[in-house]
Structure 1
Amino acid sequence: MAKKVCIIVAHHPFTDARIFKKEAKSLQKKGYHITMIVPRQSGRLFDIDGTPFRKQFLNKVFTYEGIKVVTYHSESTQKALSTVLSNESVWERHGFNNTLTQLAIQEDADIYHAHEYLSLFAGVGIKRQMKKKKGKDVKLIYDSHELTPDPLDPRYTKERRDLLKQRLLTMLDEVDHVITVSDSIKSWYLSHKPDLPVDVIYNSPPLAQHHKPKTYNSNGLTVGYEGNIVASQGKMEKILCISELCSKELEFEFKIIGGSRYGDSKIPTHLPHQIMLTGWIDYHALPKTMDNVDIGMVDLESVKHSLNQDYALPNKFFSYLNNGVPVVVNKCKEMEEFINRHHCGFVIDKTNATSQDFANAFLSLHQDMNKLQRMSQNARHAMERFYSWEHMENRLFAVYQSLFAT
C-alpha cells in the first residue's frame, strides 16, 4: 500500500515552487499519496505574487494536478497557534485544537511535512495526538526555508527571540528529520542539536532543457533581476539608478522578471526604455525568459541585521545559474562561498552594495567577454553535475526512505 504524506502549511501559497511544484510533485511521482492542508486568507487562496484566486479553487477540498488539497481559514488558527510561546501545558489545552492540526489528523497520514515555524507547532500537536488518540507513531519533517527566529532580526526584542528559539528547540525534540536550504543553516541546527538528522535540499529548479550556451559578443548588456520588488525598500529606485549609470557607457537593458506583489501600486507603470518588466512568469517558462539575460543580480540588503540573508541561497540565484547566467551579488556568506567554489559570478565586497557598486561590477564584467563566457559555462556545469532539482529530488527521496525504514 502506498504511504500517505500530509504537507501542512501555515502561510505559504499552495502553489509555492518549493512546496508544490518541486517537493509535492516529486513525491507524487515516486508513488506517495499526497495531501496538502493549506490556508485561505479572507476566504481566498492566493497566488505566488499574493493575488487572491477569485474564480478558482473555491471548494474547501479539491484535487489539483492529482494532489488532494484541503483548505482552512488562516484567521481561525491564529489564536491557537500563537500559544506556541506559552508553556507546554497550554499547548495541550489550547494550542493543538487548531483547525490545521485537526484537519491534518483526519488525513491519518504516515509522514507530516511542515514548512514554517507555526506549521511545525501544528505538526507537534499532530504527532502527539496521533499517538495518544490512535496509538499511531507518525513521522514529522520540518522543512526550514529559513531560520525562525532570525538571531539578528531587529524587529523583535532579544527576549522575544530567545523565547522563540527556546520553543523551537523544544519542538525539534519531536522532529524526525529537518530539511533546510543551505549548509550554513544546517550547521546552525547541528550546533544546537548535534544528533538531529538534517539534510540540505537547495531551492534549485529542474535542469533547463534545450539549453543553448551563451555567446558574449555583443556591444550591449542585459542584466536580469528575478523576484519581488517592494516599493518601500527602494529596490526600484536602485534598478533605475543602475540603468541610468550603465546606459551612459553602453547599450543597456535591465530585465525585471517578476515585479511588485499584489496590491503594491507604487511601482511605476511607465519605465524608461532601458527597463523591461515581464511581470510574473510561469515557473516552467523561466528558462525561455532568461535566454537574452547576460548577468543576473541578487541584492540581499540588511545582511548585518539578518542571519537569513547572510545564509541565503535564494531561488533566483539557482534560476540564473540553471540558465548559464553568471550572477553578481552583494557580500553574503553562503552565496560568496558558492561563487568562489564554482567561479560562476562576482561578489561585490560590501554587505550593502550601492547602485554605483553594481553598475561598476556590470561594466567591468562587460569589458571581459571571455571571463563572462567561462562564468556562464561554470554556472551551467554546476547545475548539471550537482544542484539541479533532479539531484535535490534524490535527496528528498532518501530522506523519506530513511523515515520509512525506522
Structure 2
Amino acid sequence: MKKIIVTVTNDLSTDQRVAKVCNTLISNNFEVLLLGRKLKNSKNLKRNYQTKRFRLLFNAGFLFFAEYNFRLFFYLLFTKKDILLSNDLDTLLPNYLVGKIQNKKIVFDSHELFPEIPELVNRPKVKKTWLALEKWMLPRLRNNYTVCNSIAGFYKKKYNCSFETIMNLPTEKKVELGEFPFKINGKKIILYQGAINVGRGLEKIIETMNFLENHLLVIIGEGDIYKLLKDKVSSENLNNKVVFLGKITPSELHKLTPLAHLGISLEEDLGLNYRFALPNKIFDYIQAEVPILVSNLPEMSTIIKNYNVGEIVKNRDAKKLANQIEQILKKDFSKELKLAKAELIWEKQEQKLLAIFNHLK
C-alpha cells in the first residue's frame, strides 16, 4: 500500500476539496497522512485517515510561511512516504525539495492562481517572490491537476506544463428541506452563500433589492465586509428585504439552500483569480436544484451554457439586474437542474483523479 503525505497551510477542518481527495485515495488502497496547522479556534477532527497539525509561533505574514515551510521540509524529509501531494504554491517548496532529494513522486494540486490572490495584488515584492518560485518549480513538475480548464490553459501557455482538470464538485446529495429562522410570507428567496468579501458582487445585489418587491435576499456566511454590508442595508432602509444569517454548519446549510428560488454568484473581474473563478456555491445550488444567476466570467458562464441551469448577468445596473431576476423566476429550470445534478458530482471526478495517482510520471 503506497503512502501519500498530503500538505496544506490551513487547519484541515474547512478544506472540503482536500477532504474529498483524501477520502477517494483512502477508499482506493492508498495510505494517507494529511498535514496542516493548529489554530486557537481549530475544531477536533474525525477522519478515516491520519492527520497532523503543527502548532506555530507565527500565523500570518512572511514569518508564518517561513516557519511552516521550514518545519514541513524536515517533517517530510524524515517521514516514510511514497508520494507527496502538495496543495497550492504555499506548500510546494518543501515538497519539491524533499521529492528531488529522495527521488519521490510529487503531485501538485493548484486550487487557484496563487500569485494572483487578492492579498498579493498590492504587494508587488511579495508577489514577485511567489512568481519566481512558481516559474522555477512548475515547469519541472509532471503530475499536476487544478480546479478548472482556464487555470490549466493559463499554466500551459505560461510554462508549457500540463494540468489535468479535477473540478471541485460536491458529493452526490439528496435534497433535504429545513426551515429559515424567520417568516417568509410568500416572498421569493434570493440566496447568497459563501465568503462575505470584496469582489463577490454583494454590494450590487443589495442595491438591486431597492427595485424588487416581494423578494427577500438571504446572505449566509462571514467575511471581511460583513459589517459594512449590514451598515449598507440599514442606510438604504432595506432591513425588511435583506437577512444576514452569518456562518452556519454545512449540514444546516444543506437543508436551507433548497428553500431558495434563486442562487447568485456575482463575482467581479478583479484579476485573474476572480476571472477564472468557479465557486463551490454554484454546484451547491445545483445539488439543491436551485436555478442560478452568475457573472459573465469564463468558467461560471460555461456552466450555464453547457447545462442551462440559470442565466448569465446581462447588465450589472441595479434596475436592469432586478428586471432580469424577475424574468428568471418566471422560468422553469427543474428538468435541466436534475440532469446537471446527476452529472456535476465528485463521484464523476474520482476516476480522473485516481488515473493520476495510479500512473505517476
Mapped contact 1:112–1:140 kept (Cα < 8 A): yes
Q: What's 1:184 paired with?
A: 150
Deviation at 1:328, TM superposition (A): 0.8
Q: How does 1:205-354 map to 2 (within 5 A)?
A: 205-210=170-175, 220-230=187-197, 237-247=203-213, 251-260=214-223, 266=228, 268=230, 272-301=239-268, 303=269, 305-349=270-314, 353-354=316-317
SS at match of 1:325: coil
Q: What's 2:7 paired with?
A: 8
Q: What's 2:105 paired with?
A: 139
Gap change, CA 1:27 and 1:165, over 3 Å in 2: same
Deviation at 1:80, TM superposition (A): 7.5
CA offset digits 1:126-174 (Å, max 9, x no partner):
2133x1xxxxx211111111112229974244x7655533421211144
Q: What's 1:28 paired with?
A: 26
Q: What's 2:122 paired with?
A: 155
SS at match of 1:259: coil
CA offset digits 1:297-330 (Å, max 9, x no partner):
11112x1x41111111111111112222221112
Q: How does 1:372-383 map to 2 (within 5 A)?
A: 373=332, 375-383=333-341
Q: How does 1:74-85 map to 2 (within 5 A)?
A: 74-75=56-57
Distance in 1 (alpha carbons) for counterparts of 2:226 and 2:240: 22
1:365 paired residue among 316, 324, 328: 328
SS at match of 2:212: helix
Gap change, CA 1:75 and 1:300, over 3 Å in 2: farther
Deviation at 1:122, TM superposition (A): 2.0
Mapped contact 2:11–2:53 kept (Cα < 8 A): no
SS at match of 1:309: helix
Q: What's 2:165 paired with?
A: 200
AA paired with 1:388? I
Deviation at 1:295, TM superposition (A): 1.1
Identify unmatched segments of 5+ residues in structure 2: 178-184
Distance in 1 (alpha carbons) for counterparts of 2:159 and 2:131: 12
Identify unmatched segments of 5+ residues in structure 1: 45-51, 58-62, 84-94, 132-136, 213-217
Gap change, CA 1:76 and 1:252, over 3 Å in 2: closer
Gap change, CA 1:258 and 1:161, over 3 Å in 2: closer
Gap change, CA 1:264 and 1:125, over 3 Å in 2: farther
Mapped contact 1:34–1:67 kept (Cα < 8 A): yes
Gap change, CA 1:138 and 1:331, over 3 Å in 2: same
Gap change, CA 1:380 and 1:121, over 3 Å in 2: farther
Deviation at 1:225, TM superposition (A): 0.4
Mapped contact 1:317–1:327 kept (Cα < 8 A): yes
RMSD, matched Cα: 3.2
Distance in 1 (alpha carbons) for counterparts of 2:114 and 2:242: 36
Percent identity between the two aligned chains: 20
Tell me the TM-score normalized by structure 1: 0.75
Mapped contact 1:297–1:328 kept (Cα < 8 A): yes
AA paired with 1:146? E
Mapped contact 1:5–1:111 kept (Cα < 8 A): yes
Tell me the TM-score normalized by structure 2: 0.83
SS at match of 2:349: helix
Distance in 2 (alpha carbons) for counterparts of 1:122 and 1:74: 17
Deviation at 1:296, TM superposition (A): 0.9
Does the alignment pair 1:402 with 2:351?
no
Mapped contact 2:196–2:226 kept (Cα < 8 A): no
Mapped contact 2:220–2:246 kept (Cα < 8 A): yes
Does the alignment pair 1:70 with 2:52?
yes
Q: What's 2:180 paired with?
A: none
Distance in 2 (alpha carbons) for counterparts of 1:237 and 1:31: 47
Distance in 1 (alpha carbons) for counterparts of 2:145 and 2:210: 42
SS at match of 1:69: strand
CA offset digits 1:242-272 (Å, max 9, x no partner):
333212xxx21222232346x9655649982
CA offset digits 1:74-122 (Å, max 9, x no partner):
4559658867xxxxxxxxxxx9970012123333211111112120112
